[in-house]
Amino acid sequence: MVVTRKNGMDSIIERLSYIKSQVEISASQNLNDINIYSENFFRDFLNLVLSHHFKNINIEEKNAAAIDLGDKAAKIAIQVTSTNDFSKIEKTVTKFNEKKLYETYDELKIVIIGNKKDYKKKKIGDSSKHELDVAKDVWDISSLVELIGDKNVKEIQEVRDFLEEQVQFISKNHISKEIATFENLILLLSDEDHPAIGSGFLEEPDPDGKINERFADHATLLTSEFQDLYIEYGEVLSDVRQHSELGQTKLRRLGLYVKAYSDEVLTDCNGDPKAALKQLVKDMENILRNKIKDYDVTAIRFFLIDELLRCNVFPNKEAINA
């Protein structure tokens, strides 16, 4: 039951994070269509999470001020925004009071599609009309995850089903292409039918000794490339590794296979890590080509360099047959 809950929450977090990233990208390019989509999405999503009956006020009342969603029966109004500046919160509350919306709604929530800041001001508004409690009434993606996390397993599954239906990772999208590349590499290379399963390497991870001593001639190249690629791929790979559906068993099998295979490639390349890494990328690309149509070759290279630093690629010591 615990595993089911964690799997559900992992999927929910992944998709909410994807929405957040897409909204942030669109906002930076002054594209508003996705924000309009988000209002409708969050209408249905919050109805599910909060068990309310929100309506999109912007559809019923064109250019409605202050709020996007409203449930008049429950007397709750919501503003959905990609802006986390305090001035946005202040402006929303001011308009809410100016339009006398407090006569229709007792509560006002502001949902930020992103991360809220550590706001210094705790209250804003007019106590004789409506006063917003910033800590309690300003939500972000983390707040929504916390709300969902308090639900029972059945309810979490309902939220997961909704998000998986509504939020599809499009293969041509750069971010989802990275995720697909990493996930498929790990799944394919951790297959229990791989011949390397049952073989191991007796060694303690020693990336410094490997890079700076064993491959001293290539140390600058390898460390510099890792640092450059980490900016773009590091967090994505870290998130994929922590995904519960992969599990520690698959990650262990992955390590066993990569150690054995990369050692063979390094031997064939006369101990040249630069040439061997190039060959490994080509081999991994061939494996993925038969599995998915759209993958990221640079992500493959980063994955292998990351495994090198974990002492899985080009292991420091000789293989010991089990």
Residues 114 and 212 both lie in one domain: no
Range of the domain at 279: 174-320
Residues 23 and 161 both lie in one domain: yes
Q: Which residues contact 275 (CB under 8 A, 6 or more apart)?
A: 269
DSSP-derived 3-state class of residue 128: coil
Residues 200 and 125 both lie in one domain: no
Residues 141 and 218 both lie in one domain: no
Residues 144 and 236 both lie in one domain: no
Residues 224 and 307 both lie in one domain: yes
The predicted pLDDT at position 8 comes to 85
Residues 196 and 101 both lie in one domain: no
Residues 301 and 182 both lie in one domain: yes
Residues 158 and 189 both lie in one domain: no
Write out residues in the chain with pLDDT < 50, as ranges.
Answer: 1-3, 29-34, 63, 170-175, 194-210, 244, 317-322
The predicted pLDDT at position 97 comes to 93
Residues 7 and 138 both lie in one domain: yes
207: nearest Cα among 189, 226, 228:
226
126-144 per-position pLDDT tens digit = 989 999 999 999 998 888 9
Residues 159 and 201 both lie in one domain: no
Residues 209 and 63 both lie in one domain: no
Q: Report how many domains make up the chain.
A: 2
For the chain, the residue count is 322
Last residue of a domain, one of 135, 166, 197: 166
Last residue of a domain, one of 124, 143, 166: 166
Cα 190 to Cα 246: distance, rounded to the nearest angstrom: 9
Q: pTM of the predicted model, to two decimals? A: 0.53
DSSP-derived 3-state class of residue 109: strand
The predicted pLDDT at position 100 comes to 92
Last residue of a domain, one of 141, 166, 191: 166
Cα 315 to Cα 207: distance, rounded to the nearest angstrom: 10
Phi, psi of 241 (to 5 degrees): -60, -30
The predicted pLDDT at position 276 comes to 86
Cα 283 to Cα 265: distance, rounded to the nearest angstrom: 10
